Amino acid sequence: MTVITRFAPSPTGFLHIGGARTALFSWLYARRHGGRFVLRIEDTDLERSTPEAINAILEGMSWLGLDYDDGPFYQTHRFDRYKEVLDQMLADGTAYRCYCSRERLDALRAGQIEAKVKARYDGRCRDLDAPPTGDDVSDQPVIRFRQPREGHTVVHDQVKGNVVFDNHELDDLIIARGDGTPTYNFVVVVDDMDMKVSHVIRGDDHLNNSARQSNILQALGVEPPVYAHVPMILDEEGKKLSKRTGAANVMEFRDAGYLPEAMINYLVRLGWAHGDQEIFSLDEMVELFDVADINHSASSINPSKLDWLNQHYIKTLPVAYVARHLAWHLGAIGLDPAAEGAPDIETLVQAQAERSRTLVEMAQNSRFFYEAPQSYDEKAGRKHLCGAEDTLEALYHALSLVEHWTAESAHQAVLGVAEEHDLKLGKVAQPLRVAVAGGPVSPPIDITLALLGRDATLSRIKSAIAWAKAQVEA
């Protein structure tokens, strides 16, 4: 049997982190077993589905690198097929028309909630011979699935184990609306059947649906797929993820400076583990992933661990690759990585990698390589610039004599000044750092100077001296 998994989002919003993880698990499972991964857009809700959302989902998948073998299929393109199955079910009696008006249904539900029993359809139209008449009858009948009333249905779930439902708990759900359009629980079943989906990996909020879907499949004479219901992802407070409680949209993570590799690695470890291993390449994940190792309980998102992973990938992925991503973020904050006099971006990445948890942080902390500081960090300026005029003059002199401008030669020049003035290196490097970077933080001073180039270095030292003198007068 070939393994076929699917990711079936409804296009009513962006690709959120929970969806991304289910997609990843499904993708990994298919890859692991040499199977196929299909993407299906569940857009039967005409009112809420939007083309923007479809694009957002596709964009998210592509950013994460989750490619699909088949699709995207759109359910709205398959209405003829659904109609066909519906007719067949009506004909063989596994489905029936229900004429109850919405008003009657609403009243029924309200009464059941009042009586503290599970809200469900009472089956009034289940065994009708002819359409009824009366005030509470709709002229646009819906179609309901005739759920077995006896016995029980067991969902053989790969992560939860066997979950048993009494059939009388399941109600006769609506599979086609009054306007004839099919509903979710029905189209899912038809699609999974037609697309020969072998393994359904989805959020455990669908666990209750699986019994109903199994029964529809059975009515259609088809074996249900293997189910694996993965637990939810919660926010930092352990609450359900929402737009309010932090970034749930995967594209927001890109914008916040995370690499897709970090995101994928983070996601795979949320609810899944392989012993103590934390870092997984894509190949390793494909090799090791198994639904049997998926956790049973919900997990909270842990942003600082994502940060750690992101920095790990910033430090270990090929420099040219990271540089490409950094360039994008530099552009996003108005810096031109290709500008005249701009630092070599790969060297920059190497210099900043170990002090950047995100690419946004790296871009922001690299601003001074592209623009002279507009002002000095107040505390750092006072502490390291004021009173350091002589040191800065000496540095200016020594550095202006450097012939081949490299980290090594800059280092020698700075070291020379320190020895000459009988100062510890810190006493020389720190004023210099503030002068060129505008603040107390930068990569090692020699690398910073090399990246900056001679002209920028010298002119910034000059500005800093002028500033320090002006402070004395003021």
Partner RNA sequence: GCUCCCAUCGUCUAGCGGUUAGGACGCUGCCCUCUCAAGGCGGAAACCGGGGUUCAAGUCCCCGUGGGAGCACCA
Q: Which residues 384-443 are close enough to bind RNA by CB under 7 A?
A: 411, 424-426, 429-430, 433, 440-443
Quote the least distance from Cβ 463 to RNA, whole Å: 19
Q: Where are the alpha helices (DSSP H) in 115-146?
A: none
**Which residue(s) pair with 166 in the sheet?**
152
**Is the Cβ of residue 120 or residue 462 nearer to RNA in the bound state?**
120
Q: Which of 191, 204, 261, 389 binds RNA (CB under 7 A)?
A: 204
Question: Which tokens is 382 given?
Answer: 């006072």
Gap between the Cα atoms of 256 and 258, Å rounded: 6
Q: Which of 1, 91, 117, 130 binds RNA (CB under 7 A)?
A: 117
Q: Is residue 81 close enough to count as binding RNA by CB under 7 A?
A: no
Given 118, 160, 239, 243, the catalytic residue: 243
**Is the Cβ of residue 350 or residue 471 nearer to RNA in the bound state?**
350
* 243 noted as active-site residue: yes
Stretch that binds RNA, among 257-265, 306-314, 371-379, 390-398 (CB under 7 A): 306-314
Q: What residues from 326 to 365 belong to the interface with RNA (CB under 7 A)?
A: 354-355
Gap between the Cα atoms of 50 and 43, Å rounded: 8
Q: What residues from 15 to 54 belong to the interface with RNA (CB under 7 A)?
A: 42-45, 48
**Is the Cβ of residue 331 or residue 449 nearer to RNA in the bound state?**
449
Q: What residues from 235 to 294 belong to the interface with RNA (CB under 7 A)?
A: 238-240, 269-273, 275-276, 278, 293
**Is the Cβ of residue 139 or residue 340 nearer to RNA in the bound state?**
139
Stretch that binds RNA, among 25-33, 84-92, 94-102, 281-289 (CB under 7 A): 94-102
Question: Are 199 and 225 spatial neighbours (Cβ–Cβ below 8 Å)?
Answer: yes
Answer yes or no: is 100 a known binding residue: yes
CA 92 from chain centre, in angstroms, equals 44
Q: Which of 77, 97, 156, 305 binds RNA (CB under 7 A)?
A: 305
Gap between the Cα atoms of 57 and 11, Å rounded: 7
**Which residue(s) pair with 338 in the sheet?**
none
**Is the Cβ of residue 36 or residue 144 nearer to RNA in the bound state?**
144
Answer yes or no: is 386 a known binding residue: no
Residues of the binding site for ATP: 243
Active site residues: 243
Residues of the binding site: 98, 100, 125, 127, 243
Residues of the binding site for Zn(2+): 98, 100, 125, 127
